[in-house]
Structure 1
């Protein structure tokens, strides 16, 4: 038995009401507006809300209140515009307004099925050939059985209600399970670069692909609050951003393994699959990625995979210095939090005069934010046509002279290979395995990123940094 509150039009409500009662559920309220729904949550503490997918019955405020009280919300959408509205709010549980009660109840109890790629159909039964080692997908033994309510989440300080269901098993706690191939928590790798499209997303995607191909479980997350690009680069649906949804769940102490499996996409590859949390599609949604939520989300993710790769934003500006409201959200907080948590930071730039100038200006800012011992410098698109003969030597000399960087990793330019990967929505390993750029990234991953992180020494000024790890691959 599930306690429900309905906020539907009269015709839809009359159609569903007999089936709801026949299945043994109880309707505790039938509000008509968001304010009445909020009052019903306070007064009746329902297990689930079934609402129309319009601004009159579904808002961000309602979703926040539902998360805080562990209530699952299912929206019934009658038009494509309503579906887009629900997706903008970050709600995955949406079904057609003319769906029968069996389909609505399935989403209410099991969660929504999400397509993994643009050309993939939804698969409610879970993912076949799951090489990632992540379990708990719908249909697996760890997922709730059909008819068992999964919407009620544990919230600190909330009084537990008497059980009305047949003994559901406890939900897995966030970060409770060890990583698949490594002992202890997973390793977090943050990829950062200055403004000007230095190749952060391309580098993050292919680092994740090469680590996964080495036999490790990997989660790739888009933490960029300015222009999330991982979803379009891999041909993934990004109408409902996965990382923002994870942060929202984490803020309500509800980010569990099963919830992560529900909101994460999966990049399928015979050479090494990995899971993806897509970024925000609209820059205006950046307030959802607060420092606390991002930190808690990353802490949970590193408990479920050997490696967590983060594609961060470019700006390192401390917003507190220019804001009079010390409690206002900070747009750069997500990037700063990710860099602070990361075990390794990959700082990338473009190997041309403009790109190196931008990188070296931002380099001082980066070294003021984090200590240099865990930073690897990677210069993308190394080519003689941009810097002259002996491109590798020219780039290395400039970095050494103006940045004190003794040895950076140099990735050769391969426009054709990168274009083929973007066109097909694949990694370089899958789209262009012989690409010079892919081989440069592979060597960097094998040499520098697959080792266990060193112990963290005391912070040192960047100008006194010791020589950089890694050697430049031949071009």
Structure 2
């Protein structure tokens, strides 16, 4: 006897229910309404096989992986085998199949162990040529958003088509930093389009804001309580798609990475976006404030398992560096502390230029727009040069657009 859960599209639910009702050796245990109920049933060991449809509410790669971790097998049902395979479903049956064919497929799925084929290309090679840099760091406000925005600005000024992505599910501030007059949840819109299998194929259809011709922004959530709209697997797909459209993808994330509740289901966690952005990045820029508290937090962070998992692609930046906080000379003192406690050296030192930062924030401009001769502005420009290969600078990339910054896609107005 095969115990089955039906998690298919609404149009196929009744058809499949009637088909399986004719099969003696199949019992339909339940017909869950969404992925929450589906996973709850799988974790109780209620069924041997789950039959899923491409458009079942909440279905994505993470859901399929979570089902597999419970020991429950998955059989796809529908006519788009390629879309189902993209979700991680290896076995499928078309919607035109008769009862005996479905029953046989269920038996084969239940009794077999599917070994994924060896990939023909190295992991990550299927992505576009764009480089993803995730800006992360400690608490105590080291300036993640300010640094991320200005990395994107200088990336464009150095000839790279750049986009800043606000994936901070706690306090999204990219729109405010850039002085955007229309604050739409572009990232939520992109995630929704990805889930609906209708993602944009080029920049013209991308929900975003245009800062300059080669500098764009995908703004974050308009309210923190919208975090369930940014799922880990969907964000990973969004970032991979952006890397095919842009040369430089900068992702601003929250400092928080672990679940708020240790006893909560890790599948439903507002900080999964941070973990997904770290995993998807080619480079992770870890920031810490250049003061005693910030350095102590960095030392503790560098001793965690999470850092070990990203150490090969990690770069360290110390921000707000000033002699008044750590003594003179400030840079030498900071390097001495890190060498002593964690045996490492920071890759980047960013000065504390409060006057330029305040002027830029007040006007909604980048540091270069506020004061191109600022030491901090020049340090961030040098950091971009190290993070990205050199490219011929476009004359247009240095031009400012006049008037308020606007959405770069017609769909952006609908992205709330």
Whether 1:250 aligns to 2:194 is: yes
Number of positions where the alignment pairs a residue of Structure 1 with one of Structure 2:
282
Aligned match of 2:61 = none
Whether 1:225 aligns to 2:169 is: yes
Q: CA deviation at 1:202?
A: 0.6
Whether the aligned pair in 1 keeps the contact of 2:128 and 2:241 (CA below 8 Å) is no
Aligned match of 1:384 = 323
CA separation in 1, counterparts of 2:390 and 2:346?
18
Q: Tell me: CA distance 1:238–1:247, structure 2 relative to 1, closer, same or farther (3 Å).
A: farther
* Equivalent of residue 289 in structure 2, options 350, 356, 359: 350
Q: CA deviation at 1:238?
A: 5.4
Matched residue of 1:198: which SS?
coil
Aligned match of 1:210 = 154
Aligned match of 1:200 = 144
Whether 1:429 aligns to 2:373 is: no
Q: CA deviation at 1:313?
A: 1.1
Whether the aligned pair in 1 keeps the contact of 2:128 and 2:240 (CA below 8 Å) is no
Whether 1:290 aligns to 2:231 is: yes
Aligned match of 2:78 = none
Which structure would you say has the larger RCO, counting Cα contacts within 8 Å and 6 or more residues apart?
A: 2
> Gapped runs of 5+ residues in structure 2?
1-9, 14-53, 57-81, 85-93, 96-126, 392-416
Q: Deviations over 1:122-146 (max 9, x none)?
A: xxxxxxxxxxxxxxxxxxxxxxxxx
Whether the aligned pair in 1 keeps the contact of 2:317 and 2:346 (CA below 8 Å) is no
Whether 1:438 aligns to 2:377 is: yes
Q: Deviations over 1:422-461 (max 9, x none)?
A: 1111111111101111111111211333379xxxxxxxxx
Q: Tell me: CA distance 1:322–1:422, structure 2 relative to 1, closer, same or farther (3 Å).
A: same
Q: Tell me: CA distance 1:226–1:184, structure 2 relative to 1, closer, same or farther (3 Å).
A: closer
* Equivalent of residue 325 in structure 1, options 221, 244, 265: 265
Whether the aligned pair in 2 keeps the contact of 1:396 and 1:408 (CA below 8 Å) is no
Q: CA deviation at 1:222?
A: 0.4
Q: Tell me: CA distance 1:239–1:428, structure 2 relative to 1, closer, same or farther (3 Å).
A: closer
Aligned match of 2:257 = 316
CA separation in 2, counterparts of 1:449 and 1:191?
15
* Equivalent of residue 400 in structure 1, options 339, 342, 345: 339
Matched residue of 1:224: which SS?
coil
CA separation in 1, counterparts of 2:209 and 2:372?
23
Q: Deviations over 1:184-241 (max 9, x none)?
A: 5211110001112110001101111111111111111001110001000001145421
TM-score (norm 1): 0.54
Q: Tell me: CA distance 1:229–1:424, structure 2 relative to 1, closer, same or farther (3 Å).
A: same
CA separation in 2, counterparts of 1:380 and 1:256?
36
Whether the aligned pair in 2 keeps the contact of 1:339 and 1:370 (CA below 8 Å) is no
Q: CA deviation at 1:364?
A: 2.4
Whether the aligned pair in 2 keeps the contact of 1:350 and 1:356 (CA below 8 Å) is yes
Aligned match of 1:372 = 311
TM-score (norm 2): 0.61
Whether the aligned pair in 1 keeps the contact of 2:168 and 2:253 (CA below 8 Å) is yes
State the 4+ residue runs in structure 1 displaced beyond 4 angstroms: 155-159
Aligned match of 1:112 = none
Q: Deviations over 1:75-115 (max 9, x none)?
A: xxxxxxxxxxxxxxxxxxxxxxxxxxxxxxxxxxxxxxxxx
CA separation in 2, counterparts of 1:205 and 1:431?
13
Whether the aligned pair in 1 keeps the contact of 2:321 and 2:330 (CA below 8 Å) is yes
| RMSD over aligned Cα atoms | 3.3
Aligned match of 1:410 = 349
Whether the aligned pair in 2 keeps the contact of 1:189 and 1:344 (CA below 8 Å) is yes
